[in-house]
Structure 1
């Protein structure tokens, strides 16, 4: 937790570019929230030709990042997170023909488990222990 999924055309990125994007998504989340990188999961989902649509038409020039994150941060932190994620994707695909759309979906920490352990609330002492340990602490 969090889980980010980037939807893109199958030919949008090379393997090396994908690695940089995943690292950038992770770094942006860590910078905006202060959590440990080991908690950030990223899936890059390249659709085949004809899998991505905008307005009912095939769209080969869209990037859509969906972040499932814990509820509990203020608007300022969420906007900073969105800004950092946008900057990362814009750097990865500077072509102005590309549309970059990002949204976050907030999940209650009590509704998420990692290895059977409920997620701590943002900013909690438990979260600090996880971050310092670099692993889930029961």
Structure 2
């Protein structure tokens, strides 16, 4: 359901950092919206130095731009999500918050299809999942990650 695109400057994140950022985004989205972890996808897009500009000039510092496409939520939920994502992503990437930008965009669930099914409105996930074919539900739940208990 939510798709987060993370655009980053060259060599901004290691493989391990990407894993931490993906888990931070997934956990934060779940904590704020209640959506199951297996719905969240995080896609990293590394941009070369010649393809990333800020203010019309080539980027000079490590930078992450996180654009979340989520099912329509209230303004309050989106504000909370953006603020919590900023903290979580900056921590996971070990970057100062000034280098992490978060944008949240609404998508109407009526025009979204995932795992082969049209999506339900927010808050109707349990009823929706009850109508899915058992093999589709098993696949969906099989991609769920378990957040680490303790992170150093």
CA distance in 1, matches of 2:97, 2:115: 41
Q: If the length of structure 2 is used for normalisation, what is the TM-score?
A: 0.78
CA distance in 1, matches of 2:98, 2:14: 16
2:67 matches 1:66: yes
> Shift of residue 83 of structure 1?
1.2
> Shift of residue 40 of structure 1?
0.2
Aligned to 2:126: 128
Query: How many residues are treated as equivalent by the alignment?
Result: 132
Say which structure is richer in helix.
2
Aligned to 2:147: none
| Structure 2 residue matching 1:11: 3-state secondary structure | coil
Q: If the length of structure 1 is used for normalisation, what is the TM-score?
A: 0.86
| Structure 2 residue matching 1:50: 3-state secondary structure | helix
CA distance in 2, matches of 1:105, 1:115: 21
Say which structure is richer in strand.
1
CA distance in 1, matches of 2:114, 2:64: 28
Matches within 5 A, 1:25-104: 25-59=25-59, 60-71=61-72, 73-96=73-96, 98-104=98-104
CA distance in 2, matches of 1:3, 1:97: 21
CA distance in 1, matches of 2:106, 2:42: 16
**Where do 4+ consecutive residues of structure 1 move more than 3 Å?**
93-98, 133-136
CA distance in 1, matches of 2:105, 2:50: 26
Aligned to 1:13: 13
Q: Any unmatched runs of 5+ in structure 2? A: 131-136, 142-152
